[in-house]
């Protein structure tokens, strides 16, 4: 299977060590076939989240996207989730593909998974991209995430849309790109609400602050200046504690910068890949 530019695309699913199915898409690079990049989506999205980034990034690496468990085309069994479990799912996918290592990049929830992967499998992460990400959501995180999950369970995912849109994007982007916003809303509403609840609980419990200083690999930390979900101060904290990290703040952008600011994100990730493989 190939896209219009002739790049080969492989779609598949991997059976994890606990019997679940993780869906993936691999975009093979004809220019840089020895470089490998993993992209992990944000909460309630799927691998298509990266559609504005893949065409540029496949020029400099093979690009793998996954649908995290409970999302997209992956298994939606209602079990207890953890960031470490999502990271082990990724390891299972890499084992299936025969990838010893890769540059691991995630946005928001995907950044949390990327952090956990680099912490738990340090020999398999050549570089780390943390986009709109935090190592911890704060003291009140369990309560706030539980409230969001409860609203979804009691009123349906549609009850969260206005809240989500204002966090995802700036007003300017929402006004100028209604079709893109509608696509994301459609993806969000297609989620299994019980899986959404489990993922919210997982994020409320997430805290890897104590392991950040163990990391020492090329790391790009990128955040929107107006990101209310994972604010700039959280990005500064990671930058101060992760060796060999850089910090980029994108002016006037909010939480989903790979979609709102693909040019800036693509340039930063290309530089990260080059650094990781130099």
4: exposed, middle or buried (Cβ count in 10 Å: 0-12, 13-18, 19+)? exposed
Residue 145: how many other CB atoms lie within 10 Å: 21
> How is 5-36 classified by DSSP, letter by letter?
T--BEEEEEEE-TTS-EEEEEEE--SS-TT-E
Stretch 172-187: mean pLDDT: 96
Write down the pLDDT at residue 256: 98
Contacts for 248 with CB less than 8 Å, ≥ 6 apart: 220, 221, 222, 223, 264, 268
Q: Residue 7: pLDDT band by 50, 70, 90 thresholds?
A: low
Q: Fold for domain 9-137+207-276?
A: Rossmann fold (3.40.50)
Inform me whether the pLDDT recorded for 2 exceeds 60: no
Query: What tokens were used for 142?
Result: 């369990």
Tens of pLDDT, residues 28-55: 999 999 999 999 999 999 999 999 999 9
Tell me how far apart the 2 most distant CA atoms of the chain are, in Å: 51
State the residue for tokens 């082990």: 88
Whole-prediction pTM value? 0.96
175: exposed, middle or buried (Cβ count in 10 Å: 0-12, 13-18, 19+)? exposed
83-97 vs 109-120: helix axis angle to the nearest 10? 70
Half-sphere exposure of 148 (CA within 13 A, CB side): 23
Inform me whether the pLDDT recorded for 152 exceeds 60: yes
Tens of pLDDT, residues 68-118: 999 999 999 988 999 999 999 999 999 999 999 999 999 999 999 999 999
Partners of 219 in the β-ladder: 128, 245
């Amino acid at each position: 299977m190939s896209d219009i530019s002739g790049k080969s695309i492989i779609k598949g699913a991997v059976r994890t060590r606990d019997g679940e199915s993780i869906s993936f898409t691999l975009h093979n690079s004809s220019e840089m076939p020895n470089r490998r990049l993993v992209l992990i989506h944000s909460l309630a999205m799927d691998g298509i989240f990266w559609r504005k980034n893949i065409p540029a990034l496949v020029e400099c690496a093979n690009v793998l996207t996954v649908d995290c468990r409970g999302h997209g085309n992956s298994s939606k069994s209602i079990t207890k989730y953890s960031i470490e479990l999502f990271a082990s799912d990724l390891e299972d996918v890499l084992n299936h593909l025969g990838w010893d290592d890769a540059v691991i990049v995630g946005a928001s929830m995907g950044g949390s998974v990327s952090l956990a992967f680099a912490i738990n499998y340090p020999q398999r992460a050549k570089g780390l991209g943390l986009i709109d990400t935090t190592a911890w959501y704060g003291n009140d995180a369990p309560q706030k995430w539980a409230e969001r999950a409860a609203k979804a369970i009691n009123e349906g995912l549609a009850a969260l849309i206005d809240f989500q849109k204002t966090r995802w994007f700036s007003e300017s982007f929402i006004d100028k790109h209604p079709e893109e916003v509608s696509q994301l809303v459609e993806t969000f509403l297609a989620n299994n609400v019980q899986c959404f609840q489990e993922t919210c609980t997982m994020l409320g419990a997430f805290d890897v602050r104590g392991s950040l200083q163990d990391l020492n690999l090329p790391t790009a930390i990128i955040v929107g200046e107006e990101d209310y979900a994972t604010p700039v101060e959280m990005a500064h904290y990671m930058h101060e504690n992760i060796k060999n990290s850089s910090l980029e703040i994108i002016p006037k952008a909010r939480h989903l910068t790979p979609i709102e600011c693909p040019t800036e994100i693509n340039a930063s990730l290309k530089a990260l890949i080059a650094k990781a493989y130099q």
